[in-house]
Structure 1
Amino acid sequence: MAKTAIYERSFDEESGKTIATKTCPECAGTLVTESAEVSCADCGLVIDEYLLDHRPDWNVFDRDTDSERTGAPLTPTRHDWGLSSEIGYGGDAQGTPLSGAKRRQIARLRQQHQRAQWQTTAERNLAYACSEIRRMAGALDLPRSVCEEASLLYRRAQRKRLIRGRSIEMLAAGSLYATCRCRGYPRTIAEVAEVTHCDQPRVARSYRVLNTELGLDAQLVTPMKQLSRFAAECEASADVRHRARELACLAEEHGLANGRHPAGVAAACLYVAGLDCHVNYTQVELAEIAGVTPVTLRDRYYELRDVLSAEPTDGTTSS
C-alpha cells in the first residue's frame, strides 16, 4: 500500500516534465506553464524553469522531405559532403591511454581508412580541389558561403569535363575568383594568384573558360567597390573616404570609368579626396596600392580634375 498521496506529483504535457506539486506553495494558486517556465497564475511565483526542449520537432512542411535532425550538416567543401568519419588520435572514449599494441593496430586501421576514402581518381582530385579552395579562401579572408559556392562551381566544371587538360590548382583558383566576381567581393586576379600555385595568366584563363562554358552571372568591377580596400590600406580618414565616394559617383555619372581600369579611377578619386582634405598622398604610393602605374593614375586624375572644373560651384548639377 502506498504511503504517499496518489496525486502528489503530476506530469505537465506541455513542458514534458514532472512537477512536484499541482498548486502554488505560497498562495495555493493554479500553476501554468508558458515558454518552458512553470509559474503561479495568481501571485506570479516561478516554480520551475527549463529552457531546453527535448521534444521532437513535428513541423513537417513537405511530406517528401526528410525531417531528421541528426548528424553533421552537409557541406560542399568536402568531396563526400562531410559524411565520412575519421579515426582520431589519443585514448579511447573514456580518455584512457591505449596500449602499444592497440596504438599500432589503430595506426594500421587509420592508414587503410585513408587509402579507402576515394573510390575513383575523380573523387581524389575533387578532394584535393576542395582542400585548395578552403586554403585559398582562408588566406584571402573570404566567408564560408563563398568557399561553398566555389566548391559547387568546381563540381559543375568537373561534370562538364572542363578539368581535362588543365591543372586542378588552375581550375580551383578560377572557381574562387569567379565566385568573388559573381558575389561582388573586391578580389583581383593578382590577389588570388598570390595564394595559389599557378601564375596570374593561368588564373585568368581558367576564369574565362568557366565564364564561357558555364555562363556565369559575373558583376562589373566598379571604382566604388575598390575604394574601401584602398582606403583601408592607406589608412584614410572618414572625411577622405566620404569625399572619395562622392568623386567615384561623379566619375561613373560622367563615364570616366568606361573603358578604363577601375583600380586606376578609384586611386585617382582617393588622390583627389586627399588633396581636398589636405592629406598628402603621393601618386606613387596610391598607384602601388591600386596595382597600376603612376602614369595611369595621373591620367585619371587629369580627367577627374577637368570634370570637377566643369561642375558648378553652387551645388547644382549641370545640364
Structure 2
Amino acid sequence: MLENYSGNFNVKCQLDTCKNYPAVTDFERGEIVCMKCGSILLQKIWDMSSESNTFSQESYMKSTRTGPNISLTMHDKGLSTVIGSNKDSCGIPLSNKSKYEFNRLRKWDQRSQSRKTASLSKAFTLLHAMKSKLGIPNNVVEKTAYIYRKVVNAKLTRGRTMKSLISASLYAACRESGIPRTLDDIAIAGNVEKKILSRDLRTIIKKLELNLNQYDTTTFISKISNNLNLKEKTKRDAFEIFYNCEKKQITAGKHPVVQAAAAIYVSCMINNEKISQSKISAESGVSSVTIRNRVNSIRKIMKIAD
C-alpha cells in the first residue's frame, strides 16, 4: 500500500515473501522501495541533504536559503539581521527616499548594539587574525570562542586587556586540543607580553576550573623538524631518542619544547646532518644554553659519543 512520508523510515513490505528483505531509500526520487518485489512503500520523502555542493563560504551563501551554521566565533553567533545593498528582491535599485530610510535603519541597527556585542566583535576579529598567523584549525577557534565567552560571563575582563584574554583563551584551547603552540608563539601573534599572558592564563584556569593536559613532546618534534626541513630518518631517530629518555625516566619535570629541541639536535649529530644549535633555538624559542645543557645530559645518560 502506497503512503506519503510520515517521518517513519522503519517500514517493511507487508507481503510474506518480502518480510525478511530490507527496504531501500531513494532520496533522488523521494521514495522507499522494497528490495524484493520493488513495490513503493513510501513517497515524498523530505530531502535532508544540502542543497548543493559548495567549497567556500561565499559560494555557500549564494546558493543556500538558510544561511551558514551557528558559530561561536561570531559576536551574534551568525543570527544577526543584515540589511543588504540598496536593491530590492528583483535586483531593481531603490528610490532615493527608500535608500535614505534604509541607511537610517543600518545606522540605528549599529547604534542599538550592546556594549558586550561590540567587544565580542572586536575580540573575535583579533582571534581570526591570530588564527591566520598561527595556522589554527577551525575546531580550536570555536573552542577558543567558547572559553572567551565564559570569561566574559564570569566578569574577568575588568582590569585586563582584550588581547591578553583572547590570547590566553587561545592557548588554553590549543592545550585542550593538543595543538603544539607555545606561550611565545601566542604572545608574538597576539602582540602581548608573555608575563601578562601567563598571569591571565593562570587566572582563567583558576576561575573557570580548566583541566589542561600537558603537551605531547612528539608533536613538537614533528613541528620543529618539519619547519627545519630535516630528513625523515633524522626525525625518526629523534623520536627514538625521546622514547629511550622516557624509559630512562629522565624526562620528568622537563619542558616538552626543550626536550624536543635537544632530541632533534642529538639526532642531527648522529645522522651527520649539519644544523647549528642557534637555528634550533630560533625555531623552538628556547635559548642555546638550555638546549646545550639538555643535550649534554642526554648524551651522558644515554652514552652517546661525539
Q: What range is the shorter-chain TM-score in?
A: 0.7 to 0.9
> For the residues of structure 2 that align with 1:80 and 1:42, how far apart are their CA atoms?
51
2:112 alignment counterpart? 116
User: Is residue 107 of structure 1 aligned with residue 103 of structure 2?
Assistant: yes
2:270 alignment counterpart? 276
1:295 alignment counterpart? 289
1:54 alignment counterpart? 46
TM-score (norm 1): 0.72
> How many Å apart are 1:172 and its aligned residue?
1.1
Gaps of 5+ in 2: 7-22, 50-65
Structure 1 residue identity aligned to 2:174: C
TM-score (norm 2): 0.75
Corresponding pairs, count: 268
1:249 alignment counterpart? 243
Instruction: Check 1:56–1:210 CA distance in 2 against 1; reply closer, same or farther (3 A cut).
Output: closer
Q: Is the 8 A contact 2:24 2:35 kept in 1?
A: no
Q: Is the 8 A contact 1:223 1:257 kept in 2?
A: no
User: Is residue 208 of structure 1 aligned with residue 202 of structure 2?
Assistant: yes
> How many Å apart are 1:245 and its aligned residue?
1.0
Which residues in structure 2 correspond to 1:1-12 (within 5 Å)? none
> For the residues of structure 2 that align with 1:284 and 1:297, how far apart are their CA atoms?
9
- Report Cα offsets for 1:69-127 as digits up to 9, x if no partner: x6653322223322212112353322333444443433222121111222xx3333233
Structure 1 residue identity aligned to 2:303: S
> For the residues of structure 1 that align with 2:87 and 2:182, how far apart are their CA atoms?
46
- Report Cα offsets for 1:149-176 as digits up to 9, x if no partner: 1122122222222111111222111111
Which residues in structure 2 correspond to 1:84-99 (within 5 Å)? 84-89=80-85, 91-99=87-95
Q: Is the 8 A contact 2:235 2:267 kept in 1?
A: yes
User: Is residue 217 of structure 1 aligned with residue 195 of structure 2?
Assistant: no
Structure 2 residue identity aligned to 1:85: T
> For the residues of structure 1 that align with 2:117 and 2:70, how far apart are their CA atoms?
17
Bigger mean CA deviation after superposition, 100-109 or 188-197? 100-109
**Identity among equivalent pairs (%):** 28
Give the secondary structure class of the aligned counterpart of 1:35: strand
Q: Is the 8 A contact 1:222 1:257 kept in 2?
A: no
**Aligned-pair Cα RMSD in Å:** 3.3
User: Is residue 35 of structure 1 aligned with residue 32 of structure 2?
Assistant: no
User: Is residue 265 of structure 1 aligned with residue 255 of structure 2?
Assistant: no
> For the residues of structure 2 that align with 1:42 and 1:295, how far apart are their CA atoms?
76
> For the residues of structure 2 that align with 1:84 and 1:199, how far apart are their CA atoms?
35
Structure 2 residue identity aligned to 1:258: A
Structure 1 residue identity aligned to 2:25: S
> For the residues of structure 1 that align with 2:97 and 2:179, how far apart are their CA atoms?
52
> For the residues of structure 2 that align with 1:252 and 1:40, how far apart are their CA atoms?
60
> For the residues of structure 2 that align with 1:74 and 1:240, how far apart are their CA atoms?
44
1:198 alignment counterpart? 192
Give the secondary structure class of the aligned counterpart of 2:190: coil
User: Is residue 307 of structure 1 aligned with residue 297 of structure 2?
Assistant: no
